[in-house]
Amino acid sequence: MRIMQNLDKIVALSKNRGFIYPGSEIYGGLANTWDFGPLGVELKNNIKREWWKFFVRENRNSIGMDGGILMNPMVWKASGHVDTFQDPLMDCKDCKHRSRVDKLIEESGTWKDTKKRPEELSLPEMEKFVFDNKIKCPACGKVNWTGIRFFKLMFSTDRGVTEANLNTIYLRPETAQSQFVNFQNLQRSSRLKVPFGVGQIGKAFRNEITPGNFIFRTVEFEQMEYQLFCKEEESMKWYDIYKKKAHEFYTKRLGITDRNIRFADHDNLAHYAKAAVDAEYLFPFGWGEIGGTHHRGIFDLGNHQRDSKKTMEYKEEGQDPFVPTVIESSHGLDRILLATLVDAYNEEEVAPGDTRVLMKLKPSIAPYTVAVLPLQKRGLTDKSHELFDTLSKNFSVSYDETGSIGKRYRRQDEIGTPLCLTVDYETLEDNSVTIRDRDTMKQERIRISDLIDFINRNIV
């Protein structure tokens, strides 16, 4: 049974078991920053690996790249970020708490329109709604707001040797632009014909003012983005295909419950877009965006062609040159990781008065695939270490010899390990181990020589 009224249990478990820690905690932390511990980095890497397999390796006419975090500032001028990438915020005059206006409206409980979302309001409409509905400050409860002001979302820094020779550059707010500015390099070097796609996983940075629900809204995050370059007349077909692929990735590859995923079409589109849809997950705090599919038209390639004076046209024998249309499949890694943790968290009563915490992660993305547990230390350590060394060449393996075997099972249940192997004194005689299934708690005896095949069959 899934029990998750708020995020407190996930936050506590994440810190105690080594998934996620507060950033710079010994110095009092830094708002909206988090560090991933030993389990968190394994889960993160497994999600990235699944995404890369699904969108790049198993996807025909697809390649990958890894662009730099720092780019020529003209990239961000051409993309529109320098002039328009900013948040509308209001300050409480009493406590100085700063809130993003659309989120303030959404979280106040006063928004009743089911056909339109607060972020789709114009700025005057947002401000009027706050004042007319006397929305309270979430920090102090007063109703005493400033008007809306804009705050830049891009982090800037200076590059240069001396104070007199400094140039402003930016930490990238998204990964996609390196895929666009490298379009010609990617196409020429790979000799691919449209339609073809480019996948990339990397860090991005945004000066988010409003704190946001654990790792849901952070200043540093990872994106997994795939850009498909295609002909305009085929673009809506590919848009529908990648919308369906996103759903398949979340539910089939990551094991997220289908009823907790929905797709919300954008009502107000950017002037260059034909279609856009957000993939949302039902978090304890409500529906939240974890990804999206976007018809970006020729906006990005066209802007870079205009500002760089370098052609972004695709040329194919027998056809007129054209600037390809872009269909984007974008996924927020940190938010998806949070969704997998929330979705997997269960509290299960195994006997009257005995409840176990069960992290029911899909076995293929669990931080540890298998745990090696010697029944006792005396006389079994060498055999257990030998088994660990053998299995760790193929799987991510945990080793635990502290505490009773029952407590060790529970610890592995809590972090989502699908299989536990118990090495006992019979193992020394018959070269077999007891294997325990996380979800059913059923146990069976397996010969060590058959273990690798058995594990592979059970972690799909």
- Name the one residue in this structure whose structure tokens are 């400094």: 166
Q: Hey, what amino acid is at 310?
A: K
As a whole number of Å, the end-to-end CA separation of the chain is 23
- What is the reported pLDDT for 1? 46
Pairing of strands 86-91, 149-152: antiparallel
Structure confidence at residue 203 (pLDDT): 98
On the question of pLDDT at 2 being above 70, the answer is: no
Q: Which residue has the higher pLDDT, 454 or 213?
A: 454
Q: Which of 335, 342, 336 is nearest to 360 (CA)?
A: 342
Average pLDDT, the chain: 93
Question: Could you tell me the strand order of the sheet in which 86-91 lies?
Answer: 98-100, 86-91, 149-152
pLDDT in tens, 327-354: 999 999 999 999 999 999 999 999 999 9
pLDDT in tens, 28-54: 999 889 999 999 999 999 999 999 999
CA atoms 340, 343, 344, 345: torsion sign: positive
In the chain, the domains with their CATH numbers are 8-85+154-342 (3.30.930.10), 86-152 (3.30.40.230), 368-458 (3.40.50.800)
Question: pLDDT per residue over 227-271, tens digit each?
Answer: 999 999 999 999 999 999 999 999 999 999 999 999 999 887 877
Contact yes or no for 125/100 (Cβ under 8 A): no
Residue 120 confidence (pLDDT): 78
> Could you tell me which of 335, 212, 333, 330 has the C-alpha nearest to residue 278?
330
Q: Which two tokens stand for residue 157?
A: 């820094």
Average pLDDT over residues 365-374: 98
pTM of the model: 0.89
d(CA 241, CA 58): 15
For residue range 347-365, list pLDDT tens digits in order.
Answer: 999 999 999 999 999 999 9
The pLDDT, as a whole number, for residue 164 is 66
Confidence of residue 212 (pLDDT cuts 50, 70, 90): low
| pLDDT value at residue 147 | 92
